[in-house]
Structure formats: structure tokens, C-alpha cells
Chains A and B, each alone.
Chain A
Amino acid sequence: MTLQTELQNEAPSKLSVQRVTKRFRSGGRDVHALDNISLEVGEGEFVCLVGPSGCGKSTLLNIIAGLEKADEGAVLTGGEPITGPGRDRMVMFQEAALFPWLDVLDNVLFGLKLKPGLSKSERIEVAQFYLKLVGLEKFTRAYVHELSGGMKQRVALARSLAPNPRVLLMDEPFAALDALTREQFYGDLQQIWQQHRKTIVFVTHNVREAVCLGDRVVLFTPHPGRISEQFRIDLPRRRDINSIELARHAIEITAALKGRRGAMEEYAI
């Protein structure tokens, strides 16, 4: 495999969640996290999962990642059932989960070293390519504790893009960032996604964030976790989180959420 083919984007993968059910025990109670969930995500589609805590959206993400197993049902990626974690599906968590004993470049190299077929210099070139993409090419030798929260998430984004996955799974990746940093991420993530098309499943609490990023917003309701409603967002890209049109969509979706449940305070518009 040459470096050029490595840096070319892998075709994004279609995801198919088929009748997935998941129960677990938490704090001595049985939690019915997911109840017979089915969801189709198209190739290169950006789907946002929105819902209150405990609605199972993160559990679904973990099952797609292969970190947890479904009790019933299956998730297919590119037609193949998922049995465990795989390089074709990379995950970005709410915490950057970078390794403090490695510097920025070595953190991005961690996953690349586990990918066969690349020489050492090619790996470094790939890592530097993605660090440049997220705007951190000047910080390759910095240590994790020296970075701000936003920079850490940028490294985490570069780290999950570097092995060239078909699917990117994002679990509230911007929830812990301040508003300004977050807004910058919305623009950058949309741009990166337009250039390097991946299938993205994005979990969030924030309706407005979901409207800004997603082609489609999927609403979840808890106890048991179910999909209640879906919204297609046809606003032109790149979207501005502060635009009035976007707010209008967000209000509509929030109203739908409110209609289902009284707990309004969970949602930031």
C-alpha cells in the first residue's frame, strides 16, 4: 500500500442497526437501555442521536463500536455483522482519552502502529497529515497536559481519523468544551467531513448542535430506550450554529422532545 492510497479516503460504510435490544443491571436495578432499535445510516451520512440521559444513545454507540454486545439483534457495517472493535469504526469520546505518557504525535501514531502495511516513515507522514488537518501541526511534540481542552479533542479527532476508518462514532465529544471552542469545532468538523467523507454517528444532548451537524437527527426516549422520531435537516452546508433558520429547526425538535417528556431542563437550545 502506498502512502497516496493510504491518505485517500476509504469509502464510507453503510451502517444497519437491526432490532437491537440491550438490558443491563445498574445500581441494583434492571435497565432496559435499548428496546428493539432499528436504524439505517447511509454511506457518508451524518446522523445525530439526541435524547435525555439514560435513553440508550451512548449504549447504541458502544454496540456499534463493538465495545459492548447487544442482547438481541445485530449491527451490520458494509453488510458484515459487528463482533468486536475494529479499525473501520473509530470512536471519539467525551473525554479526549489521550495517553499522557505519549506526546501528541505518538498518540496519533498509536492506532496507526496497529494497522498493518505501513512503514515507520509512512505512519509518521500520515499522522502529520491529520494533525495538520486539525490545525495542530505545530504541536506534534507537546505533551497532553500542555494542551487546552479544545486542543486535546483536536488530537483525539486526528487520532480517530488517522487509521482512515469508514465510520466515525462520536460520543458527546464537545460537551466539556467552552462555547467558543465548540463553535469553532462545528465549522471545522463540517469542513473535514465534506473533504474526507465518513459515515458519522454523533451522540449529543444539545439539539442545536445536532441540527448544526446532522443530515438527520434521531430522537431517543428512555425507559426503555426507543427511537421516537426522526428529522431530516436540509439546511445548506457549512451551517452556522447561530443562524435563525437553524434555530427554527432546533425549536421544532425541542418541542417534539418536550411533547414526549416534561424534563425540559436537559436540553440546551
Chain B
Amino acid sequence: MTLRRPLQILLFFVFGLAVWQALFMARIWSPVLVPSPLSVGRYLYEAAVDGTLWSAILVTMRRLMLGYLFGIALGLPIGLLIARFRFLGDTIGLLALGLQTLPSVCWVPLALLWFGQTEGAMFFVVVMGTLWSMIIATDNGVRNVPPIYARAARTMGSSGLHVWLRVMLPASLPFIVSGMKQGWAFAWRSLMAAEIYVTILSGFGLGNLLHYGRELNAMEQVIGIMLVIILIGLLADKILFSPWERFLHRRWGTVK
């Protein structure tokens, strides 16, 4: 009974691999364009054994986490401030709304000119991907807090900063978490684009491996790295956001 769901999931993916293998064996397309699942597996195995895969994952994740955490740490207080002060909302809030609509990969040319082919450029691009979403989400969250919460808190003796930290901030959490998710998605996409687009000598990330796979016509490498990128995205969702979403679900009673 309990095994049925995992079995279904397993069967689905085994079936997918079988279709892929069948298409490869049918020789409709050149093996250069459609490599076999086996050759992709072999590439991943070899890259794992010689360490290139792990070091690429490490380089990419370090870039991502540094920029992402910085963007969140900066975006949260800015979001609270622009929700609190009308002047900041009218100015920085509008700026953030505008910049949030700009795909963050558009920052890559600017970052290259400002920082050169350095880690600084990568950091900048990831921060730009995270920051604006985080600001907008926090601001939105605060604006959606039922005013009665703050009124109730004030009658109990809460005021000033206490209202903000103990009421407005936790009350905005559902919005803040979805802002964190969106920021993550933007940061992840823009970092991949930047790594494919730019070679930085201080470290080869997953995007670089993808890029070289194309240059070498090594389609098994391209597809293998794509699978790794998907896997990291899935894991991030499970590890980074699932605990938050479980928390929200338990406390707010929202649907999972």
C-alpha cells in the first residue's frame, strides 16, 4: 500500500529512460545530437570520479549562496523600510518594482564592464536576481497584514520596533517565503546564464561545463550537466523551502 506511490514514480522514470534509449537505438537522429542514456550516465560517472563535477557544483553553489544570502539579508530590511515610510515606497519601491521586471541576465554585460571577468561580476548578477524580488515581496507582505494585528498588539502594550519585529515581520512570512522562492529562481537562472556566457578563471561552474560540452560537441556532457542542474533545483526546493512551507502550513493552515 505505502509502496505503491514510490513504485509508480520509479516506473514512470524507468519508462522515460526506456523511451529515450529506444529513440537512440532507432537512429532517427545522429548520436551526436541524441546520445544514449548510458553515455550520459558514463559521462556523469567519470566527471564525478575525476572530481570536475564536484568542483563545478561547489563553485556554482558558492556563488549562488553568497549572492543569494546577501540579497535576502539586504532585501528584507529594505522591504520593511519601504513599507513603513511612504517616501521610500514612492522612490525605492518604484525603482525595485521596475528593476524586478528586468530579467537579471541583462545585468551580465554591465557586471562584466564594472567588475571584469571576476567572482565579483557573478556575485553582482546573483544579488540583482535576488534583491528586487525580496524587496517587493516583503513590501507586499507587510501591506497585506490585516491592520487588526497591529491594533491588537498595540492594545497589549506593543509599540514601535516591537510591532515591526514581533507582528509585521512574522505576519508577512507567507509573502516573504514566496519572495525567497522567486528570488532563488531568478538568481539560479541568471547565474546559469552568466556562467554559460562568461568564463571566469577563478573557477569553472556548472554553466561553464555546459558551455564546454557544446564547444566540444559532447552532447552527453550537455545533457548530463542539465540533469545535474535540474537535480540541484529540486534539492534546493526540498532542503531550502520545504521546511518553511511546512511551517507555514502548520501555523497558517494553508494548503500544501
Range for the number of chain A residues in contact with chain B: 20 to 34
Q: For B155, list chain A residues within 8 Å (CB).
A: 65-67, 85, 89-91, 160
Contact of A91 among B152, B158, B251, B252 (CB under 8 A): B152
Contacting pair A100 B252 (CB below 8 A): yes
Contacting pair A114 B253 (CB below 8 A): no
Q: For A110, list chain B residues within 8 Å (CB).
A: 153, 156, 158, 166
**Residue from B149, B155, B159, B173 whose CB has the most chain A CB atoms within 10 Å:** B155
Q: For A90, list chain B residues within 8 Å (CB).
A: 155-156
Within 8 A of A (CB), among B105-163: 146, 148-149, 151-159, 162
Q: With A100-B251, A143-B251 in contact, is A115–B152 under 8 Å at CB?
A: no
Contacting pair A114 B158 (CB below 8 A): yes
**Residue from A101, A111, A114 whose CB has the most chain B CB atoms within 10 Å:** A101
Contacting pair B152 A101 (CB below 8 A): no
Q: A40 contacts the other chain (Cβ, under 8 Å)?
A: no
Within 8 A of A (CB), among B162-185: 162, 166-167, 170-171, 173
Instruction: State in angstroms the CA–CA spacing of A146 and B252 once bound together.
Output: 9
Q: For B154, list chain A residues within 8 Å (CB).
A: 67, 85
Minimum CB–CB distance from A198 to chain B (whole Å) comes to 14
Instruction: State in angstroms the CA–CA spacing of A145 and B250 once bound together.
Output: 9
Contacting pair B253 A99 (CB below 8 A): no
Within 8 A of B (CB), among A98-117: 99-102, 110-111, 114-115
Range for the number of chain B residues in contact with chain A: 20 to 34
Contacting pair A145 B253 (CB below 8 A): yes
Q: Tell me the total A-B contact number using a CB cutoff of 8 A.
A: 66
Interface residues as binary, A174-187 with B (CB distance below 8 Å gives 1, 0 otherwise): 00000000000000
Contacting pair A163 B156 (CB below 8 A): yes
Contacting pair B157 A101 (CB below 8 A): no
Q: For A65, list chain B residues within 8 Å (CB).
A: 155
Q: Which chain B residue shows the least CB distance to A91?
A: B155
Contacting pair A99 B252 (CB below 8 A): no
Contacting pair B156 A97 (CB below 8 A): no
Interface residues as binary, A57-72 with B (CB distance below 8 Å gives 1, 0 otherwise): 0000000011100000
Q: For A86, list chain B residues within 8 Å (CB).
A: 157
Contacting pair B151 A97 (CB below 8 A): yes
Q: A188 contacts the other chain (Cβ, under 8 Å)?
A: no
Q: For B152, list chain A residues within 8 Å (CB).
A: 91, 93, 97
Instruction: State in angstroms the CA–CA spacing of A143 and B247 once bound together.
Output: 11
Q: For B157, list chain A residues within 8 Å (CB).
A: 85-87, 111, 114-115, 163
Instruction: State in angstroms the CA–CA spacing of A89 and B152 once bound together.
Output: 12
Contacting pair B171 A97 (CB below 8 A): no
Instruction: State in angstroms the CA–CA spacing of A67 and B154 once bound together.
Output: 8
Q: With A85-B155, A85-B157, A163-B157 in contact, is A97–B149 under 8 Å at CB?
A: yes
Q: Which chain A residue shows the least CB distance to B252?
A: A100
Q: With A95-B148, A97-B152 in contact, is A143–B167 under 8 Å at CB?
A: no
Q: For A115, list chain B residues within 8 Å (CB).
A: 157
Contacting pair B148 A101 (CB below 8 A): no
Instruction: State in angstroms the CA–CA spacing of A107 and B146 once bound together.
Output: 16
Interface residues as binary, A77-98 with B (CB distance below 8 Å gives 1, 0 otherwise): 0000000011101110101010
Minimum CB–CB distance from B237 to chain A (whole Å) comes to 22
Contacting pair B151 A67 (CB below 8 A): yes
Minimum CB–CB distance from B128 to chain A (whole Å) comes to 31
Contacting pair A143 B250 (CB below 8 A): yes
Interface residues as binary, A140-164 with B (CB distance below 8 Å gives 1, 0 otherwise): 0001111000000000000110010
Instruction: State in angstroms the CA–CA spacing of A196 and B162 once bound together.
Output: 30
Contacting pair A101 B170 (CB below 8 A): yes
A residues in contact (CB < 8 Å) with B: 65-67, 85-87, 89-91, 93, 95, 97, 99-102, 110-111, 114-115, 143-146, 159-160, 163
Other than the given A65-B155, A97-B152, 5 more pairs (CB < 8 A) read A67-B151, A87-B156, A89-B155, A93-B152, A163-B156
**Can you list 22 A-B pairs, Cβ within 8 angstroms, ordered by A?**
A67-B151, A85-B159, A89-B155, A91-B155, A93-B148, A97-B146, A100-B252, A100-B253, A101-B170, A102-B251, A110-B153, A110-B166, A111-B156, A111-B157, A114-B157, A114-B162, A115-B157, A143-B250, A145-B251, A145-B252, A145-B253, A163-B156
